């Protein structure tokens, strides 16, 4: 796979899956715009790693739940890096609680960050990609968006929404050679899974046929394929990286 000459914008790329995607695409030749909302220092560390690989990297601090900030982020990417060929929507949060205890703000904030952001970024980026008649949009959902999970009604709704949104947009943009696909990770070793207690981890592991958590690189490898010409006949697909949980 070869991404030389391509520019990728990755939201929530200062750590975890987003950071792994940024590094993987850079190793294949892409220049990277790293979005972060708060921890700019971590984002700068990732950018420096990419620069050491020999690729260009910029950090754009923006709240992707805010439309104006997203539009400026896309404009900045194109202005500073010269193009926008790949968009990976990875930013996401959890605010877990049982439904009867869930606060309205926890519902709204998760939907705004996880789902509204995908609408804003995809709309802004696709305007440019349509003119180029080329682009890749990869939206990170979750197995929870298919299976649901106790205490995560807000998160499940946001991730399920990403899937329906992506399939619709894939149909709209296909004639312009803009491909839209979804990656649905299972349980990946990130800050989110690290917060689980021992009992929770044991229960989850028992439901994974491969009997291990995935790594951010497992998701990044698929993101790289979906970003490349090798995936030119794939659009509107939901691909699980889950160790077999969704079989």
Residues with a known catalytic role: 155
Element housing 10 (H / E)? strand 7-10
* 93/208 Cα distance (integer angstroms): 23
- What 8-state DSSP symbol labels residue 42? H
CA torsion through residues 69, 56, 86, 226, sign: negative
Residues belonging to the chain: 247
Helix residue ranges, H only, the chain: 16-27, 40-53, 67-81, 104-111, 117-132, 144-147, 153-173, 191-194, 198-206, 216-227
Closest CA relative to residue 190, chosen from 8, 21, 31, 72: 21
* 46/38 Cα distance (integer angstroms): 14
* Surface-to-core class of residue 120, CB atoms within 10 Å of its CB (0-12 exposed, 13-18 middle, 19+ buried): buried
Token reading at 132: 């180029």
179 strand-pairing partners: 136
């Amino acid at each position: 796979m070869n991404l030389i000459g391509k520019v990728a914008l990755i939201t929530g790329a200062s750590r975890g899956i987003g950071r792994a995607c940024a590094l993987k695409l850079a190793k294949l030749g892409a220049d990277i715009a790293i979005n972060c909302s708060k921890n700019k220092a971590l984002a700068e560390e990732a950018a420096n790693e990419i620069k050491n690989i020999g690729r260009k990297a910029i950090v754009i601090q923006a709240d992707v739940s805010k439309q104006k900030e997203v539009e400026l982020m896309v404009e900045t990417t194109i202005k500073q890096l010269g193009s926008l060929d790949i968009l990976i929507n990875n930013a996401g949060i959890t605010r877990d609680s049982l439904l009867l205890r869930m606060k309205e703000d926890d519902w709204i904030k998760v939907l705004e960050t996880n789902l509204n952001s995908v609408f804003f970024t995809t709309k802004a980026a696709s305007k440019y990609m349509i003119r180029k008649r080329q682009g890749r949009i990869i939206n990170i959902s979750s197995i929870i968006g298919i299976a649901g999970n106790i205490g995560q009604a807000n998160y499940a709704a946001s991730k399920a929404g990403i899937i329906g949104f992506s399939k619709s947009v894939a149909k709209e943009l296909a004639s312009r050679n803009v491909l839209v696909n979804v990656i649905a990770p299972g349980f990946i070793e990130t800050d989110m899974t690290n917060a689980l207690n021992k009992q929770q981890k044991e229960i989850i592991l028992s439901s994974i046929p491969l009997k291990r958590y995935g790594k951010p690189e497992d998701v990044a490898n698929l993101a790289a394929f979906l970003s490349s010409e090798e995936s030119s006949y794939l659009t509107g697909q939901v691909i699980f990286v889950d160790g077999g949980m969704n079989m």
